[in-house]
Amino acid sequence: MTTLAKPAMRPARPEFSSGPCAKRPGWTPENLQNAVLGRSHRSKLGKARLQEAIDRTRQVLEVPEDFLIGIVPGSDTGAVEMALWSMLGPRPVQLLAFESFGKDWVTDVVKQLKLPAEVLDAPYGELPDLTKVRKDADLVFTWNGTTSGVRVPNADFIAADREGIVICDATSAAFAQDLDWAKLDVVTFSWQKALGGEGAHGILILSPRAVERLESYVPAWPMPKLFRMTKAGKLAKDIFEGATINTPSMLCVEDAIDALKWGAQIGGLAEMQRRADANLAVVAEWVAKTGWVDFLAVDPATRSNTSVCLKVVDPRVTGLAADVQADFAKKLAGVLEKEGAALDIGGYRDAPAGLRIWCGATVEASDLEALTPWLDWAFATTLEQLQAA
């Protein structure tokens, strides 16, 4: 028997997955009654709902008026791919790779587009040497590493007088961290992260400099239909006015509108960021007094306030073989799921063994406070099982 008593109270909402993430507080299916179902998304009503999703995104995320916002296929991945395949090539390319998705963009650029890119990488838990970022090169990077729990603290490493364009995968940073729009040309995210929306749809945001690149450069490689953003050398502006490239789910669109309405009602971007920071603070306070766990992020200044990644540091576990450590982390997450205390909080499959807890604005701090005793109980329980085996 474990020496720790099983906690008496469970989180009211145990959904701590890092994508798709917890729905916004108070969400019910009845909130989606205005969804344009059984109609064409190109109908007047369908386009109006798509445009409303775009307009509310601009409002809540505080996107500059001269930036364009489009709803595109393939979630955040699709949005990033569109930018990589459409814009890279005329300048040197640098990529920051410090977690799984950043490494995916390296594969695309180096192995698929076959561009001679410079990769600035770092192990999980750390950032690359940002002083090596060049102003004459195009830059591709993730603002917040969803799978590593590491984020860039700001965009000071990007030159204000940069010559290249900057493509920023902000899927787990948007609505939770300050995006420096003056330093970014392409920003992507998906509804399924900070908004607690559904999957398969991406958001692609373009600066005037990005539009200039699209209209002045024709890639040497064939361009799939889903990636095409120009017609006869000019930007296809209808993509950024609600005329999507392919058929979107209008139910998902309505769900995103509902989340954006909620975001505006609670106080907009500042309040969403405050909630994420408060959620991180709950976890940080627990980690500070808990000996068996620590943040994967080495530097507190780079610690994510959304995809919070934790590692087991207890020597009774760290002294074991890597595969045994991985199995321990998996069993730890499984114990929590079986008890209904936390769902889907195992670390990402390519990341070091550990836990990953979503702390974005749709999560309540009270649920995280209720979770931490369960984490301690689950660790003690899993350790006893390991020692008894």
Kindly list the domain boundaries of the chain, sorted by start residue: 29-264, 268-388
Domain spanning 268-388: CATH superfamily: Aspartate Aminotransferase, domain 1 (3.90.1150.10)
Instruction: Give residue 258's pLDDT.
Output: 98
Average pLDDT for 204-221: 97
Indicate if the pLDDT at residue 350 is higher than 90.
no
What pTM did the predictor assign? Answer: 0.97
Instruction: Give residue 356's pLDDT.
Output: 98
Instruction: Give residue 353's pLDDT.
Output: 86
Instruction: Give residue 268's pLDDT.
Output: 98
pLDDT band (50, 70, 90) for residue 348: confident
Average pLDDT for 191-211: 97
pLDDT band (50, 70, 90) for residue 184: very high
% of the chain residues with pLDDT over 70: 99
Instruction: Give residue 351's pLDDT.
Output: 84
SS (H, E, C) the chain: CCCCCCCCCCCCCCECCCCCCCCCCCCCHHHHCCCCCCCCCCCHHHHHHHHHHHHHHHHHHCCCCCCEEEEEECHHHHHHHHHHHHHCCCCCEEEEECCHHHHHHHHHHHHHCCCCCEEEECCCCCCCCHHHCCCCCEEEEECEECCCCEECCCCCCCCCCCCCCEEEECCCCCCCCCCCHHHCCEEEEECCCCCCCCCCEEEEEECHHHHHHHHHCCCCCCCCHHHCCEECCEECHHHHHCCCCCCCCHHHHHHHHHHHHHHHHHCHHHHHHHHHHHHHHHHHHHHHCCCCEEECCCCHHHECCCEEEEEECCHHHHCCCHHHHHHHHHHHHHHHHHCCCCECCECCCCCCCCEEEECCCCCCHHHHHHHHHHHHHHHHHHHHHHHHC
Instruction: Give residue 191's pLDDT.
Output: 98
Indicate if the pLDDT at residue 1 is higher than 80.
no
Indicate if the pLDDT at residue 155 is higher than 90.
yes
pLDDT band (50, 70, 90) for residue 4: confident
- Mean pLDDT of the residues in the chain: 96
Average pLDDT for 196-200: 96
Indicate if the pLDDT at residue 312 is higher than 60.
yes
Indicate if the pLDDT at residue 3 is higher than 60.
yes
Q: What pLDDT digit, counting tens, does each position of 8-21 carry?
A: 999 999 999 999 99
Q: What pLDDT digit, counting tens, does each position of 15-38 carry?
A: 999 999 999 999 999 999 999 999
Instruction: Give residue 336's pLDDT.
Output: 98
CATH of 29-264, one of 3.40.50.300, 3.40.50.720, 3.40.50.880, 3.40.640.10: 3.40.640.10
